[in-house]
Structure 1
Amino acid sequence: MTMNRRTLGRLAATLAVACSVAVPWAALAADEAPDALIKRLSTEVIGTVRGDKAIQAGDLNKVIALVDKVVMPNVNFRRMTAAAVGPGWRQASPEQQKRLQEEFKVLLVRTYAGALAQVSDQTITIKPMRAAADDKDVLVRTEITGRGDPIQLDYRLEKTPGQGVGWKIYNLNVMGVWLVETYRSQFATEINARGVDGLIEALVSRNKTNAAKG
């Protein structure tokens, strides 16, 4: 249930930008292009984090509140969790699926909480997007420059149907590593060994360990 240390470092270094993918749903323009959305919100959230000393100090409660209020409403987290779990998702009961989403969310938040303190002088460049006007699934590629080497951070977004159409993220690519695929291989090993309940137990255990470490 651990990720490659180097990959974790890269992902952690970009959480502050990953957290910039959302604002309350009502504030989003339905016709705003996905790349324009990422650019606008990246700039807005980084500015907010820079002004919050508690977040910079790694206040986990504030990080969780930020994720719940700002990020989660605009991430298709059910799809993200289902993709990370893989074929085992279809074997899971509704209650198991609910538990998987809850524990996976805690894992991600606690894994990257400290990264918000790393926001300083980063600059985000949105690369040209290759997509047709009627595409429902797009890739937005960005590059973050500041301290150290440039960081590649790409977003997979889908257009949601119905009233108030907008875009939701369902996967992230950091330095060539897709978040969902990285966890899928780990989760598959656990499910093959101990089933869906075994994966839930492993996530709970990991989250307790992370909480104890602060």
Structure 2
Amino acid sequence: YTPAAAGTDTAVACLTTANCARCDTVLLTVLTLPTVDAGADFNVCVDGSATNLLGSPAGGAWSGTGVNGTPPYSFDPGLAGVGAWALTYTWTDASGCTNSDVLTVTVDPLPTADAGPDTTLCDEPVPYALGGLPAPGVWTFDQQGTGATLAGTQYTPNGTGTDVLVYTYTDASGCTATDLVSIAVVAPVVPNAGPDDSLCVSANR
């Protein structure tokens, strides 16, 4: 017997022996499968923290790549790795009927940030253009050893020492990468041509 839809069916079983027939009737109640919702698909960065999984109705079980094995269920993007992963939520009602729903989690890779090579500048109030890639990104001080100022992509020396800057880039998926660059600020060299001198005009010159 394969039920076609929820409802009530009647089945009759008959046994005939020696021209005698006996029949019995059984009432079959076909139950509706429960409605199960795994929730909306979502994206997460590969370095993101574990995300709690909340299917409906509550009390079911989750399975799939990156899912921890026991409640409370969560998805770990670092464990799953980059890619698209199908997670299944299964729930069984009080009548023993089971249904499931699937959501897709896309784990996005991290971008690559490049703050450029370390450099040395003279201690002069001349703005230096920082060239982080990809652009646009955000420049901040990681370690500040001078009185230099930072405005957007412009670094202006002020005093000798070493500053470490961090360049932060966030891609369209919201994933972030950083890179460091070191800037050494040195005192400008003062040229010395020697003492003033006087020379006689000579025909031999």
TM-score (norm 1): 0.17
Larger Rg: 2
Tell me which protein shows more helix as a share of its residues.
1
Tell me which protein shows more strand as a share of its residues.
2
Higher-RCO chain (CA-CA 8 Å, sequence separation at least 6): 1
